[in-house]
Structure formats: C-alpha cells, structure tokens
Amino acid sequence: MRPGSHQYTNLTEHSYDRACDVRQLVGKVVEVEGGKYKVLRFVDSARTGHQGTIYPHVESDEEAVAHQQQDVHRQPLEPQTPAELTR
C-alpha cells in the first residue's frame, strides 16, 4: 500500500515534534491517516535546527522521510547583512 499525500503531510506534521515526544517513539508503531508506520530514527539538532524522522510503512516496508531544516519557533533567524548572505 503506497502512502497517499495526506499521509505524507501528516507524517511531516508528526515529525515536527512540537510536543517533544517523537524521540520516545523510536522503535514504536504509530498510526497516521490509517497507515501504520514504525518510527525508525529521529534526529533533532539544536545546533542546526534540523529535525528529521524516518518512517517505514509496517506493511510495505516503503520508507517515508520527513524533515525540516530550521524550526523558527526554536531558533529565530538572525538578521544578516548582504555581505553575510553571499558567503
């Protein structure tokens, strides 16, 4: 069973970890939009702001990878000069 776009959208939302519980779900199965996914790996870098989660589908073993580069709620962007932007 191939995940639909709603499942991918909700997996992405799940991976944002606003409640700080995804790390505790690693190795467990979660249900998203009727599909069962195992939380295989979760990464949350305070230094870069990158968050990512790997979700293999339990029945098909097809993997979905959800990530975001920077969480502006945790790490607001610093103002930059034009010279800094071109480095």
Instruction: Answer yes or no: is 84 within a domain.
Output: no
Whole-number pLDDT of residue 55: 92
Mean pLDDT in order along the chain per 10 residues (87 residues): 72 76 90 89 83 90 80 53 52
**Which regions of the chain does DSSP assign to beta strands (E)?**
29-32, 35-38, 41-44, 51-56, 63-68
| Residue 80 included in any domain | no
Q: What is the span of the domain harbouring residue 59? A: 5-71
CATH number of the domain where residue 20 is located: 2.30.30
0.75 surpassed by pTM: no
In a domain, 83, yes or no: no
Question: What domain count does the chain have?
Answer: 1
Give a yes or no: residue 35 inside a domain.
yes
The answer to whether position 86 is within a domain reads: no
